[in-house]
Structure 1
């Protein structure tokens, strides 16, 4: 679904940044991060924000918005945040690779480039199941009309696009043979992001890739992570360590720590680890420095841990 929001105070995220959106469901405040595009022109003091949100079966916020968002409704917005943004000065050539809802920050970048009169060349390779699964098609088609923007549709369940199937290095060879020397922005599921990173690393061009992903990779926790106890010092709650993330364990213990994206992007869930060791579920790295601020959504306790929550 796509919704347009009129901020009551100026909120101008840089193209590619995200904004936290909060709703109340059964009296509980829930927050998630979405990447908007600006509506109203580059010169507008307080532009509208347009969000495209994929509905997930277990998504509390996405399901609530899908079922209850209406004209005149009120949402709570946080300040713009995120480092998935374009550099200055702009490169003369840019490549974007996206899948599914990963389109949103990339679309923001492309519309931002168009608004500022970017005269370099930009190519987007966008993966969806079929043409019917392409959101905001009219905006993509309008961008494709620009002489320096190429939109390449790749469909995994249809032959209607220029490319067919999931991401493959041959796709880049076909539509962007110069990719290894070009700044490349990738957003989508972790499988896509990881595969693109591998392809560029094999070419010695890993530094060219900047990524953002909307799902956590599946990481097998070390069997030694579970065991011991997790103590939430500010709440006085102590629970057996199950090995899942600190956020998940805190929620299971009845706590409601502040959080947003749940994927380590927005940094709204940071808390001080007073003692013990934690593992970053994205990288597998462990750390035990007392007093360090960590993101509870992407860190799992290893044995006994005390965190200031």
Structure 2
């Protein structure tokens, strides 16, 4: 991790000394609240980062580099972090893969799709402040060196790019085959950098698959992988992309008795088919709103369509940021099909749907 900048060092040095002396003068605010006016990264309440650059990748995708404040943990290659953005006075949280090499100042590569991602791509400028949470996730490189196969599609390349940047050029024993699917050459993320890396380092081989020309990668049999990477069964495999591709990869590796060699990163929860149930009228008590939804619509989606601002983060049942008290009714966990609910129970709205009428305390 790079050394602290002058303002960061100043904030860290003076805070323990001045805070006890200044507290009586700043109550009900804290000395850190005033210090944050000088240095926006100085906050005892919320981890923050300042945007250092915004780099366009494609027509609707950009990489946002930021310098995190004190409290940030250096990320491992492949991890993700929650990022909070202020939009019209409301803070929205989303989770994004970190695309820089392990230990470097972080960056996220964002596709302009949805309220938060569109705002990040279209409106973010150097000097803007992002709210942050520490890096998380188990989609990381193996502990010991071994040949790797990276199978990605679309934005599924983002966590794998961190792995490639960490390995290639740093380890002479790197042996990586990347098979990346995109609609066309114009849509392919990091294409120029990957070409340069593969030219400079024989341990990296990049295979581009353009679905606009060839259709989706066929994983119903081993034929395509046998052609693209003949020794794939002997490699540790990392896959990230659309749910359909990941589901097919899981079946293929299972049938090949190699499932222990496959690690998957999903950007959406695994929802069981046919587990939606009956749905119902959802009432948001404090917001004085209600909406009728089917049994496959998550409570988070229902709230947003009704204009209710809900807490959210990963939107796939991992971070628990969306926990909201249930005041009446039952909900169904779309991952397991389980129906549950007691008054006052906190539920994950991003993976739960109404199982009949229900009331939420928000």
Tell me the TM-score normalized by structure 2: 0.70
**Unmatched 5+ residue regions in structure 2?**
1-61
Structure-2 separation of matches of 1:121 and 1:223: 44
Name the SS for the 1:194 alignment partner.
helix
Name the SS for the 1:85 alignment partner.
coil
| Structure whose alpha-carbon radius of gyration is higher | 2
1:127 to 170, 181, 184: 181
Name the SS for the 2:192 alignment partner.
helix
Structure-1 separation of matches of 2:275 and 2:79: 33
Name the SS for the 1:29 alignment partner.
strand
**Unmatched 5+ residue regions in structure 1?**
159-163
- Between 1:197-206 and 1:248-257, the stretch displaced more is 248-257
CA-atom RMSD in angstroms: 3.0
Structure-2 change in CA distance of 1:89 and 1:273 (3 Å): farther
1:278 to 323, 331, 342: 331
1:113 is aligned to 167
1:68 is aligned to 123
1:161 is aligned to none
Structure-2 separation of matches of 1:196 and 1:150: 20
**1:159-188: per-residue Cα shift (whole Å, max 9, x none)?**
xxxxx4311232211122332343211111
Q: How does 1:1-309 map to 2 (within 5 A)?
A: 1-9=62-70, 10-38=72-100, 47-56=104-113, 59-90=114-145, 92-114=146-168, 116-117=170-171, 119-144=173-198, 145-158=200-213, 164-169=214-219, 170-215=223-268, 222=275, 224-227=277-280, 230=282, 235=286, 239=290, 242=293, 243=295, 244-252=297-305, 254-271=307-324, 277-281=330-334, 283-288=335-340, 294-305=347-358
Deviation (angstroms), 1:250: 3.3
8 Å contact kept, 1:232–1:308:
yes
* Higher RCO, Cα 8 Å, sep 6+: 1
Structure-2 change in CA distance of 1:183 and 1:270 (3 Å): farther
Structure-2 separation of matches of 1:194 and 1:305: 32
Structure-2 change in CA distance of 1:126 and 1:223 (3 Å): closer
Name the SS for the 2:84 alignment partner.
strand
Structure-2 change in CA distance of 1:102 and 1:267 (3 Å): farther
Structure-1 separation of matches of 2:144 and 2:327: 42
Deviation (angstroms), 1:27: 1.4
Structure with the higher helix share, 1 or 2: 2
